[in-house]
Amino acid sequence: MAKRLKNGAAKDGWIEVRGARTHNLQNIDVKIPRGKFVVLSGVSGSGKSSLAFDTLYAEGQRRYIESLSSYARQFLGQMKKPDCDSIEGLSPAISIDQKQGSHNPRSTVATVTEIMDYMRLLWARVGLPHCPDCGKEVARRTVQEIVDDVLWRFEGHAVAVWSPAVRDRKGTHADLFRALVEQGYLGGKVNGRDANFENPPELEKNLRHDIDVRIDRIRLERVTRQRLTEAVEAGLRLGAGAVAIESLKAPKLKKSDDPDEQRFQTGQGESIAYSEEFACPEHGAFLPEMSPRVFSFNNPLGACPSCQGLGVQRNFSPDLVIDRLATVGEGCITPFRRSMMSGWYRTQMTQTCEHYGIPHDVPFGQLDDEAQDIMLNGSGDTIITFNFVSQKGSSYQMVRPWEGVFARLRRTYTDTSSNRTRSRLTSYMTDEPCPDCRGQKLNNAVSMVTVGGVSLPEISFCSVLEALAVVQNWRIGGLDDTWSRLEREEPHTPTVSKTEHLDERSLFIAHDIIKEIESRLRFLALVGLDYLTLDRRANTLSGGESQRIRLATQIGTRLTGVMYVLDEPSIGLHPRDNGRLLETLRELTSLGNTLLVVEHDEATLRQADWLVDLGPGAGKEGGRVVSNGSLEQLLNTKESVTGAYLSGRKSIPLPEDRATPDDDRWLVVTGARQNNLQDIDVRIPLGCIVAVSGVSGSGKSSLVTSTIAPSLQRKLHGADTTPGSHDKIEGYELIDKTIVINQSPIGRTPRSNPATYTGAFSPIRDLFTQTNLAKERGYQPGQFSFNVRGGRCEACKGGGSSKLEMNFLPDVWVVCDICKGKRYTRETLEVKWRGKNIHDVLEMNVTEACDFFANQRSIYRILSTIRDVGLGYIRLGQPATTLSGGEAQRVKLATQLHRPATKHTVYILDEPTTGLALADVHQLIEVLLRLRRNGHTVIIIEHHLDVIKCADWVIDLGPEGGERGGLVVAEGTPEEITQNPDSYTGKHLLSFV
C-alpha cells in the first residue's frame, strides 16, 4: 500500500491548506494527498469537521458559487470565505452528510435514488399492458402495424372486419342503428346473434347490450391492402380503438419449406382482436397512454382513485380499539369506555352477547373467532331486541341488528360535528393499506402493465436484493458475479421466480435504462442496504441509511475528479457489512476522486491511505494537526488520543461490575409484529444496561423505537402515541418513567443553547442580578435574558444574528450589526460578575465555566455533568443548531444524571455512539453505567462492540435484515452471546470480551 500511496500522491498531487483558523483550528497548515482515501480522526470537538466541512468543503462550494452568473450570486453573496490563508489543489466538492435528504412523505428509496424515474421510463417503453378485467395481454398498435399483422396472418383468407361499437351498455341503441345504416353499415351482430341493422331487433332499454358492426368483407391479397387499411381505420373509429378480424374462409394450404410461413397459418373461423388505444376487445379502453407519467402515483392518470396514490387509508386499529384483557361487561372497547354514552354501548353489547349466548364475563381475547366477529363486525341481518332502562326507571325498546363496533366507530367518526370527538377517535386509527390498490398506489390498469412478467408495484415491494435479481433475470436470464461479492443467498420470492428474460427487441430498447437501474441497485446492495424495500419511505430511514443511499446515487453518477466529504459513513452498519462499504468507497477513489471521511470506526481508520488526526483534545485543547500521514505514523504519535486507542495503549475496559437480572423485574413484550418482527416475545431485565443488536434491518428499531418506547409512553404517561403491533407488554408497572434520548436537536433555533436547555442559565442570571451595579439599577433577572424585552439587543431580539431567507437555498444567519453578535444592550453588558459580563459567560466553554463557577453549587452541579459526558468543549451559549446529533444527545443525558434512584426510569437510546471517537465512547459508557448504578434501566440500540461488551444483557435480532430477520437470535450476557454460533454479533464480539 505504501508504494501505491507514494506513486499516487505524486501523480495526483496534493491539497494544500495554509493558515486554517475555522472555529477552533489553530492556524494550521496541512497537506492532503489527492485521489486517496483520507480519514480525518480525533475526539469530538477536536476540529475534524471544522477542517473537512467548514474549511475544505465550504471553500469548494464558495468557488463553485463564484463561478456562477452574477444574477445567481446576488442571492448567495453572504457566503463567507472560510477563515484560512490559502487552499491549493482543491477539486469540486460534494458533501454527503447524515441530514435527512427529504421530508416529502411520498419520497421513497426508489425515488431518491432515481431508480423509480428509470423504471417508469422502462415500463413506458417496453411494458406490456393487460386488460384489468380479464387479464389478457393487449398490445397497442398503429393502424399500419395492425394492417401489416393482418396481412401476415390472413393473406389469402376471406375475412370480415369487425368493430365492437357497443360493449355492455344499456339502451335501445335505436339511434346508433339508424346512423350505421346511413353510413352504409348494414349488418353485424347484436348480443352475439346475426342482425340486420335496417331491421334491428328491439332492445330492452334497461339491459346491457353488445353490438358488433361488420365493416367490410374482403379477400385479402397484397392488392387489397388499401381497402383493408380503410376498413381497419373505420373499425377503430367506430369501436373506440378496437377492431377484430375474422377468417371467413381460409385458402387451401400450400406446402411450404419456410417454417415461419407455416407458423402463421391461421385457421378458418379464427378471429384476432387488435387495439389502437390500449383497449381490450372485450372490455374496452383502459389505459390513456404509455408514458412515464402514467406510471407515477403522483399523477392523477396513474394514481389509485381511492387513496389518491398514498397507498394507505386511515382505519380503526383493532389493536388500539380492543382491550383484549377486559370482558364485554367491563367495557372492552376502549373508545366506548371514554365516550359520553359508555353505558348505552355496553348495554347493547351485553344484550347482543345474551342474544347469541356469548359469555360477557370472559376477557374478549378469549372469546372464539365467531363471537369476536359478531361483536366487532355486527350481527348482519339478525335482528336483536334491545331493552334499555333509564336511571329514572322508564324503559325503552329498540329492535334492529347490532351494527358492530367498527361500523359504529366509523359512523361516529364521519357524522360527528365535534372536532374533539373526531380527534379522540383519530387516536384509535392507524394507516392500513388501501383496500382497492392493496397499497400499490397505482390504479388497476397501470399496475397490470408488466416488464418481463413483473408489474411496477411488484418490483416496488421488492427489497434491493430481490429487485437486483429481477433486473439481472431480465438482462441475462440469471445472476451475475456480483452475488459472490455480496455473500447473500439468491432470493426465491414469487416475484423473482416469475421474472422472464426479456426478448431481444425489449433489451435493445431498454439496454441503457436497465443499466442505470442495475448499477444503482448493485451499489445499494454493496453498501449494506440490501434489505430495504424500494417503496420504503425516505423519511423513515435512519441518518446512516439515507447517507449511504445518497452515496450509492453518487457512485452511480460515476463522476471523476471530485472531492467527496463524508461524515461517518459506517453509522448504523453492523461490523459484518462494514467491509463491503469500505470496498465500495474505494471504488470512488479508483474512479479518480478524493475521499475525505470524518470517521471514528476502527476498521475504517485502519484501512485508510492517509490519516489526518486532529486534537489532541477538544475545543481550545484541540484544533492542531497531531499526525498527518500513514497509520504507522499515527500509532507512533504519543500525543494522539486516536493513536493511543488504536495501538492499544488505551482501551475501553470491561465494566468492573455487571448487573445481574432480577427474577421478578422484567419488562416483557409479547407477540411483537411491527414491520418485519416475526411475532416475537422479548424479555428485558430491568435495572440493567440492555443492548439490542443485529445487522441493519434486523428489526432493532421496530422493536425498541416503534414498539417498546411508544407503548411505555402510552402506558406510563398517557402519551398519544401509536405503538407497533404487539399483543401485550408486562412489567411496566415496575417503571416510573420512560425517557427517549435521541439525537434530535435540543432546540430548533439558535436561541436555544446548552445553558438554557440544562437550566444552568437561570441561576447564572440570578447571580448577575445580585451584583452591586444590577441592584443599583434595579435590574431583574429578565434583564439578562435574551428572550424577553429589557436587556437584550432589540435589533436582533437577542439572537445575536438574524435569519436571511434564501428562497431556494437554506436560510443563512447573519451577525447582528447593532450588538455585533453580543445579544445585549451596552448597559446590560456593563454589569459584571468577577470581571465577566453575561455575554462573556455565554462565550465560555463548559470546562472554563466549571472553573469560573466552582463555588456556585447549583450552577457547578449542572455544568460539571455536561463536562462529565465529554462536552467540556462546547460553549454555554452555543446555538442548539450547531450541536451535532451526538452532542445534543449527550446534553440530554447530562440533564438526566441527577434523577434519584427512587424513580425507576427507563432510558431508551438509539445508536448514541454516532459521532463519537473511542475516547468519547469511553466517556459515554461511564455515563450509562452511572445511570444504571443509580438503579435505572438503559435500553440501547447499538452496533458499537465496545458498548455491547459493556452491557449487562444483549438481545441480538436477526439473523438477516428485512424478511429474513425479525427473530431473537440470541439473548444473554455478552459472554453468552459470543458462544452462540447463529449470532453475527457474537462472532464479532468474541475478540472484545
Of 39 and 446, the one with the shorter C-beta distance to Zn ion is 446
Nearest approach, Cβ of residue 828 and Zn ion (Å): 12
Nearest approach, Cβ of residue 139 and Zn ion (Å): 13
Instruction: For 420-486, give the secondary structure using H, E and C.
Output: HHHHHHHCCEEEEECCCCCCCCECHHHHCCEECCEEHHHHHCCEHHHHHHHHHHHHHCCCCCHHHHH
Of 53 and 286, the one with the shorter C-beta distance to Zn ion is 286
Instruction: Extract the C-alpha cell encoding 126.
Output: 417496453
Of 410 and 620, the one with the shorter C-beta distance to Zn ion is 410
Of 800 and 986, the one with the shorter C-beta distance to Zn ion is 800
Nearest approach, Cβ of residue 747 and Zn ion (Å): 19
**Contact in structure between 120 and 510 (CB atoms under 8 Å):** no
Nearest approach, Cβ of residue 963 and Zn ion (Å): 23
* All residues at 6 or more sequence positions from 821 whose CB lies less than 8 Å from its CB, including other chains: 800, 801, 815
Instruction: Extract the C-alpha cell encoding 81.
Output: 470565505
Nearest approach, Cβ of residue 443 and Zn ion (Å): 8
Nearest approach, Cβ of residue 208 and Zn ion (Å): 16
**DSSP codes, 107-161:** -BHHHHTTHHHHHHHHHHHH-B-B-TTT--B--B--HHHHHHHHHHHHTT-EEEE
Integer CA distances (angstroms), 928 to 357, 611, 665, 689, 947, in order:
56, 31, 19, 8, 10
Of 265 and 306, the one with the shorter C-beta distance to Zn ion is 306
Q: State how far the Cα of 903 lies from the Cα of 937, in Å rounded to an integer.
A: 11
Nearest approach, Cβ of residue 307 and Zn ion (Å): 3
At residue 807, φ and ψ (nearest 5 deg) are: 55, -100
At residue 169, φ and ψ (nearest 5 deg) are: -125, 140
Nearest approach, Cβ of residue 165 and Zn ion (Å): 17
Nearest approach, Cβ of residue 167 and Zn ion (Å): 10
At residue 637, φ and ψ (nearest 5 deg) are: -85, 110
Integer CA distances (angstroms), 625 to 29, 561, 884, 972, in order:
8, 26, 22, 43
Of 296 and 372, the one with the shorter C-beta distance to Zn ion is 296
**Contact in structure between 578 and 945 (CB atoms under 8 Å):** no
Nearest approach, Cβ of residue 286 and Zn ion (Å): 8
Nearest approach, Cβ of residue 305 and Zn ion (Å): 8
Of 526 and 796, the one with the shorter C-beta distance to Zn ion is 796
- CA-nearest of 927, 867, 856 to 897 is 927
- CA-nearest of 650, 613, 617, 642 to 629 is 613
Nearest approach, Cβ of residue 229 and Zn ion (Å): 26
Q: How do 158-170 and 208-219 pair as beta strands?
A: antiparallel
Q: State how far the Cα of 790 lies from the Cα of 499, in Å rounded to an integer.
A: 72
- The DSSP output letter for 875 is B
Nearest approach, Cβ of residue 660 and Zn ion (Å): 52
Of 726 and 839, the one with the shorter C-beta distance to Zn ion is 839
Of 282 and 319, the one with the shorter C-beta distance to Zn ion is 282
Integer CA distances (angstroms), 683 to 21, 705, 743, in order:
51, 16, 26
Of 296 and 339, the one with the shorter C-beta distance to Zn ion is 296
Q: How many CA atoms lie within 13 A of 22 on its CB side?
A: 24
End-to-end CA distance of the chain: 31
Q: State how far the Cα of 52 lies from the Cα of 681, in Å rounded to an integer.
A: 45
Residue 346, SS3 per DSSP:
helix
Enumerate the β-bridge partners of residue 442.
Answer: 303
Q: Which residues bind Zn ion (CB under 5 A)?
A: 131, 133-134, 280, 282-283, 304, 306-307, 434, 436-437, 793, 795-796, 816, 818-819
Of 442 and 677, the one with the shorter C-beta distance to Zn ion is 442
Q: State how far the Cα of 885 lies from the Cα of 890, in Å rounded to an integer.
A: 9
Of 647 and 801, the one with the shorter C-beta distance to Zn ion is 801
**Contact in structure between 82 and 20 (CB atoms under 8 Å):** yes
Place of cell 407519467: 293
Q: How many CB atoms lie within 10 A of CB 295?
A: 24
Integer CA distances (angstroms), 49 to 16, 497, 625, 989, in order:
17, 47, 13, 30
Of 315 and 421, the one with the shorter C-beta distance to Zn ion is 315
Of 402 and 784, the one with the shorter C-beta distance to Zn ion is 784
At residue 187, φ and ψ (nearest 5 deg) are: -145, 170
Residue type, 286: F
Of 106 and 283, the one with the shorter C-beta distance to Zn ion is 283
- Whether the CA torsion 875, 793, 836, 783 is positive or negative: it is negative
Nearest approach, Cβ of residue 407 and Zn ion (Å): 21
Nearest approach, Cβ of residue 276 and Zn ion (Å): 16
Nearest approach, Cβ of residue 109 and Zn ion (Å): 20
Integer CA distances (angstroms), 807 to 76, 79, 426, 813, in order:
10, 15, 36, 14
- CA-nearest of 806, 605, 591 to 91 is 591
Of 115 and 273, the one with the shorter C-beta distance to Zn ion is 273
- The DSSP output letter for 380 is T
Of 569 and 798, the one with the shorter C-beta distance to Zn ion is 798
Q: State how far the Cα of 805 lies from the Cα of 66, in Å rounded to an integer.
A: 20
Of 816 and 869, the one with the shorter C-beta distance to Zn ion is 816
Instruction: Extract the C-alpha cell encoding 537.
Output: 419511505
* All residues at 6 or more sequence positions from 380 whose CB lies less than 8 Å from its CB, including other chains: 401
Nearest approach, Cβ of residue 445 and Zn ion (Å): 11
Nearest approach, Cβ of residue 837 and Zn ion (Å): 15
